[in-house]
Amino acid sequence: MGLQCGIVGLPNVGKSTLFNAISNNKAEAANFPFCTIEPNVGVISVPDPRLKILEGLVNPQKVVPTSIEFVDIAGLVKGASKGEGLGNQFLGNIRQVDAIVHVVRCFDNDNIVHVDGRVNPVADKEIIDTELQLKDLESVDKKIAKVEKAAKAGDAKLKKELSVLQTYKDALLSGKNARSVQMDEEDKKAIADLQLLTVKPVIYVTNVDEGSIHTGNKYVDQLKEAVKDENAEVVVISAAIESQIAELESLEDREVFLQEYGLTESGLNKLLRASYQLLDLITYFTAGEKEVRAWTIKRGWKAPQAAGVIHTDFEKGFIRAEVIKLSDYQHYKTEVACKEAGKMSVEGKEYVVADGDIMHFRFNV
């Protein structure tokens, strides 16, 4: 499944620096607002040690990791919901992503000018929240105007829909994001067509100086306190360190660099893990002589849905799935040996795929 995260934030908080570092693409990073005019897209492979294990067992012609797209979206300013700055373009771009990676500045540096002349991550967060909420409020109001007349005429279904819309409107008016509204899945259908911006899950990336990468700082603490009631991930990253890592060519050099900073993993790995956790994603594998490949799916998906990620025909003509657990593959070394030992299970349409499953699908079209 294609997964896309939009990197957002006020100008000069480190968005493009972070994007360049994690994608090795070169979005223009400069010390002035709006240096990223068009959204830049970087496709980033997701590191997974299980792929290395399968490669050693299967010896395939190639190994294909799963990936996430990160989109670097133009900076936002107050008034974006009314078209200020690059507001309309920003809001249009963010509407298309699956999750928001909200970069907030948590470092002092007089040489990098903040758009509002101060460092205050909570205020920065609130500026973007407000602009997104105002745009969502506009969308909700338009739909209320459409259904209100028919609802008042006695249409029971539309009365219910109007009630749901009004609940979202009230939340937005009180300064809350749409994702904070507690609704069952059926009621959420009332806003599904609106593609509300504040209903999207969010990861806050606190961009800190090199000295704060282990313990954080007062700015990180302020942001964590402000978002403690949100269903959000908070990741501490130094874009400056990530930029240095990105310049190193070999894995060995990167590992030595991380060790020098006392780090066990890069900020990119932390961000990728947070993305999977926030979106409730898991990975399954296919393994054969031609390729070993990782596939991303939603937790709880059944076998036919998982097969459909490979090709829609696999889902339409699904017959069964043959499943091996990675621990069994490691123990018995080959697919044939797993089968002979009774460690290859044959599963039908109701099988819920588990993280790390090695799968082979039988289908007919």
Tell me the DSSP string of 319-332. EEEEEE-HHHHHHH
- Cβ contacts of residue 145 below 8 Å, gap of 6+? none
**Rounded distance between C-alpha atoms, residue 9 and residue 128, angstroms:** 7
E strand segments, the chain: 4-8, 40-45, 62-64, 67-72, 99-105, 202-207, 233-237, 281-287, 291-298, 318-324, 344-347, 358-363
What token pair was written down for 177? 């994001």
| Stretch (H or E) spanning 247 | helix 239-247
Q: Are 94 and 73 in contact (CB under 8 A)?
A: yes
Sign of the dihedral through C-alpha 84, 86, 91, 94? negative
Least Cα distance to 224 among 121, 327, 142, 80 occurs for 121
Rounded to the nearest angstrom, the gap between the alpha carbon of residue 51 and the centroid of all alpha carbons in its chain is 21
Which residues does the annotation place in the binding site for ATP?
12-17
Closest Cα to residue 97, out of 297, 296, 275?
275
Q: Using CA atoms, how far apart are residues 46 and 297, in angstroms rounded to an integer?
A: 13
Burial 48-87 (b: 16+ CB within 10 A, else e): bebbeebeebbebeebeebbbbbbbbbbbbbebbeeebbb
| Alpha carbons 73 and 355: distance in angstroms, whole number | 31
Contact 71, 5 (CB under 8 A): yes
Q: Binding site: which residues?
A: 12-17
